[in-house]
Amino acid sequence: MKAIILAAWKWTRLRPLTDTTPKPLVKVLWKEIIIYTLELLKPYVEEFIIVIQYKKELFQETLWDSFGWIKITYHTQWEEPWTWWAIKWIDTKGSWDYIITVGDQIFFKNDIKPILLGHSYWVLSTRVTNPENYWIFQISTNNYLKSIIEKPTQDVGNLANISFYKVPSEIFEVINHVPLSPRWEIEITDAITLLTNTYQFKVHEWQFIDIWYTWNLLDANKSFLWDLSESTIEWTVEDNVIIKGNIILEAGAVIKSGTYIEWNCYFGKNSIVWPNAYVRWNTSLWDWGKIGFSVEVKNSYIWENSKLSHLSYLWDSIVGNNVNLGCGFKTANLRHDGKNMRVMVKWNLIDTGRRKLGWIIWDDVKTGINTSIYPGRIIETWSSTLPGEIVK
């Protein structure tokens, strides 16, 4: 069996994170999103075929030509506007079965072996509350696929496609006969529908994390830290540090005296938490990061080599790489009217479904001292603020 992982999109909904990093290479805790999929499939496949285009060199720098003992072949998608087109041009020899999935979702491991090695062909699904936004599977009484309805306007069920399939090699022939959809795409769902004339596809429900927008990273981070059952401390926790929960402290990391840590948190290699900081639940501080003296951080995601200067507040926020937040900065995270936070994405205000959200700030940003930020704001890559500036 071989696995095709589609990772060529630019993922503009995840801006500004994807200005510098393809979404499959965005990290959740200490691993890139795509690595969770590689680890899930590694025991069952003989080759990974990764379809790349946007910042393709970063995939090869991160993954090289193998994952463990499993060969990686890269297929560059050049002119086609949508990733599914690229399947047509993959060099496939022999009668292999294929796993086809995307590189920008995290599928929980659980025990997938019975599914991978059980029934010949299948699709994974999950139940959703807004089926009008998904491709919905209609199934028979014994959970075999009957049809796939795109973004239905009527009640046809809520069993949604999550883009994880096991298919026969005939998929590459069938896809040549699939007509263009209204969005000028060759849809793999149409190819699978054609295959149901010859093969039976079992529909299995599965858990996954869909990082559709930037704030979903906070949900992903929480889902991993929430289940942290014990601490892993590889370096230095000074005297008079209080830890109410479990933490991961990587090699070279230091938590200095007087710090209070509440609930589960992650501290990457060579990071440092200066004295008297208050670090609250589900915070992740990556390699070489710094939380300064008397800084309060809650439920935030802080990437590599970023520094939170002293006497500051960061709540429910995402901070990119190589960011320097000047002392005294403050983030608001709640609207006065109590309504959900809305964030501008591709010139549209999107309801995040969250009552609390601070700011989303990406790589190489520098803020002046005493900068204050309205809730739900995006600070663009490579930008800066003046001392005392209020970002509305």
Residues 6 or more apart in contact with residue 243 via CB below 8 angstroms: 231, 237, 261
Catalytic residue among 119, 204, 310, 336: 310
Amino acid at 172: F
Whether 193 and 149 have beta carbons less than 8 Å apart is answered as no
Whether 143 and 125 have beta carbons less than 8 Å apart is answered as no
H or E element: which one contains 41?
Answer: helix 33-41
Query: Judging by DSSP bridges, how do beta strands 330-331 and 265-267 pair with one another?
Result: unpaired
Residue indicated by tokens 């089926």: 131
Whether 330 and 289 have beta carbons less than 8 Å apart is answered as no
Whether 56 and 47 have beta carbons less than 8 Å apart is answered as no
Does 336 participate in catalysis according to the annotation?
Answer: no
Whether 206 and 125 have beta carbons less than 8 Å apart is answered as yes
Residue 247 CA to residue 236 CA, distance in Å, equals: 12
Looking at the annotation, which residues are catalytic? 310
